[in-house]
Every structure is written in structure tokens, then in C-alpha cells.
Amino acid sequence: MAAARRSLNSRRDGWFMVSPITAFLIVVLAIPLVVDCIYAVSRVRFETLRAPEFIGFGNFAKVLFDHEFWGAMLFSLRFGLLVTAAEVLLALVLAIFLAPLLAKRSWLIAPLMLPMMVAPALVGLMYRLALHEFVGPIPYYFVLLTGDSPSFLGPDNVFWTLVTIETLQWTPFALLILYTAYQSIATDVREAAELDGPSTWQMLRYIELPLMRPTILAVGFIRFIDSFRVFDNVFTLTGSGAGGNTMSISIYIYEVFFRRNDIGVAVAASIVLLAVSFGLLTLLLRWSERQA
């Protein structure tokens, strides 16, 4: 009897403890998700936000047959993969080469982290100024040294300019995590390996990198999610670009929602994105678990 009462009390305490976070999640996630599901199957505009008209799955069909949606998905996928690869590689090289210096002068980590402390929207605005041919310092030095300046935001270069900007801003994040992982490799492991007299490359290839692999995968995973859903810096720098050539999936949803006032379609697109992301992330997680 006493054991049953204790169990009941314990269960009640458990419910009591998780109730705040449950309530929070219901308010910030579940209710908006329910509203989203209603809007996704409705004809709804700003004028009819409180009176959506049920139309079935027409909004999903519109999204799936919209070539702009797939163009935006392709942009985000390409952008996300390239940026992730660049950031992880660059951060890995920096983490390994700067490790001795950072071990001695750890304060250097602070200035290295500065780029990621700037809000992405401000980074976009900053480069809008920095790359302007007549007021920006970068074109100024190009003109000074070569007599001409490349078209950083022209149709041929704009994608690579955006990739570079994103990489420069977020490589410090990857660097911080990878440097920590590199430093946390136990000294005795390295000492044991050195008994076999490996070269620096062999030490890196067969000892250090395998030990860092779970962290590398986790960093790549986080950075891919972040860069796939890129919005702020691209939006403030180029918008959706000439003919939509810099339209990420987040910008696509924003434009359909606000500019076209087609809220049902925008919400349907976001649900499709959620489903695709969920599937993709599940696959990636399983793969990374196997790799780890």
C-alpha cells in the first residue's frame, strides 16, 4: 500500500516537474503547428486571417508544382552543402594549425569568435556597403591595385559571394568546437601512437581524425541546418536576387507569405519543408550514428 502511494506520489511529482516545459512547448510549438495545419488546407490572406476557407490540399499541389519552390530548394541545398563543406574544412585546418598557438595564448579565441557575434542581417548590410563600387573598401583596393573591380554581386558571382560571406561568418563556430575536440584527445593516446613512430600526417589521418569524427559530423550537421535555412544576410544583401537567383527556401516562404499575400500556400510550403527536413535529418542522423 505504502509502495503504491509512493509510486503515485512520484508519478505526480514527475508530472508536476514536466508541466511547465510541456505548457511552454504547447504554447510555442503545438498551437502554432495546429494553426499552420489549418491554414495549409485553407484559402487565407491577410484580410481573412480569422476566417480561413477550407479548400483541401490545393495549396500543397500549388507548392509541389511551383518551379520556384524547387528552384529555392535547390539553391538552399547547394548553398548549405557548399558552405558546410567549406566551413568544416577551413575550421579543421585552422583548429589543427592554430592549436599550439591557441594553447599558449587562449585569449586569441575571443577575437576569432567576433564574426559570429554579429547579427546575420547586419552582416548583409555591412557587405552591402563594403562591396559597393564607390564607397566600399574592397572594390576600392581592387581598383587601386588592378584598375578594375570584380562584380561581386553580379549574376555570375553573387552565389559565390554569398557562400564566402556565410563561410567567413560561421567558420569561427566550427573552429571553436573542432579546436575543443582536438584539444580533448587524451595525451596518452598520442604518446602511445608515437611509440610506432608515425609521421605527422599519419598521426592526423589514423589517430586524431578518427577520434574527432563524431564532433566533425555534429558540427557539419548543425552548420548544414543553419545554412540550409539561410535568410537574414542574403535577404538584406540581395533579396531574392535578379530573376530570383538568390532565393533560398526561407526567402521563398517569406515572399509568398508577405509579398503575394498567399498565406495558405506559404504555410503549405513550410510544412512540406518540415516534412522534407525531418526525413533528411533522420537519414543523416542514422548515417552519422553508424559513422560514429
- Residue 47 binds to another protein (criterion: CB under 8 A): yes
Query: Which position among 241, 266, 268, 271 is part of the footprint of another protein (CB under 8 A)?
Result: 241
CA torsion sign for 5, 9, 14, 19 is positive
Between 14 and 155, CB nearer to another protein = 155
For residues 43 and 185, give the distance between their C-alpha atoms in angstroms, rounded to a whole number.
56
- Residue 269 binds to another protein (criterion: CB under 8 A): no
Instruction: Let me know the angle formed at the C-alpha of 269 by 265 and 274, rounded to the nearest 5 degrees.
Output: 145
Least distance (Å) between residue 22 CB and another protein: 27
Least distance (Å) between residue 131 CB and another protein: 7
Q: Residue 42 carries which DSSP code?
A: E
- Residue 239 binds to another protein (criterion: CB under 8 A): yes
- Residue 166 binds to another protein (criterion: CB under 8 A): no
Between 78 and 259, CB nearer to another protein = 259
| Contacts with 288 (C-beta within 8 Å, 6 or more apart), sequence order | 214, 217, 218, 221
Which string of DSSP letters, residue by residue, matches 137-178?
A: HHHHHHHHHHS----TTSTTTHHHHHHHHHHHHHHHHHHHHH
- Residue 22 binds to another protein (criterion: CB under 8 A): no
- Rg, the chain, Cα only: 25
Please state the length of the chain. Answer: 292
For residues 189 and 217, give the distance between their C-alpha atoms in angstroms, rounded to a whole number.
21
Between 87 and 255, CB nearer to another protein = 255
Between 8 and 122, CB nearer to another protein = 122
- Residue 286 binds to another protein (criterion: CB under 8 A): no
**Across the chain, which distance is largest between two alpha carbons, in Å?**
90
- Residue 264 binds to another protein (criterion: CB under 8 A): no
Between 181 and 237, CB nearer to another protein = 237
190-193 CB contacts, 8 Å cutoff, 24+ apart: none
Query: Which position among 6, 12, 205, 259 is part of the footprint of another protein (CB under 8 A)?
Result: 259
For residues 114 and 224, give the distance between their C-alpha atoms in angstroms, rounded to a whole number.
21
User: What residues from 112 to 131 belong to the interface with another protein (CB under 8 A)?
Assistant: 128, 131
In contact, 247 and 75? CB cutoff 8 Å: yes
- Residue 244 binds to another protein (criterion: CB under 8 A): yes
Of the ranges 16-24, 151-159, 166-174, 224-232, which one interacts with another protein (CB under 8 A)? 151-159
Residues that bind another protein (CB under 8 A): 46-47, 49, 128, 131-135, 149-155, 158, 236-245, 255, 258-261
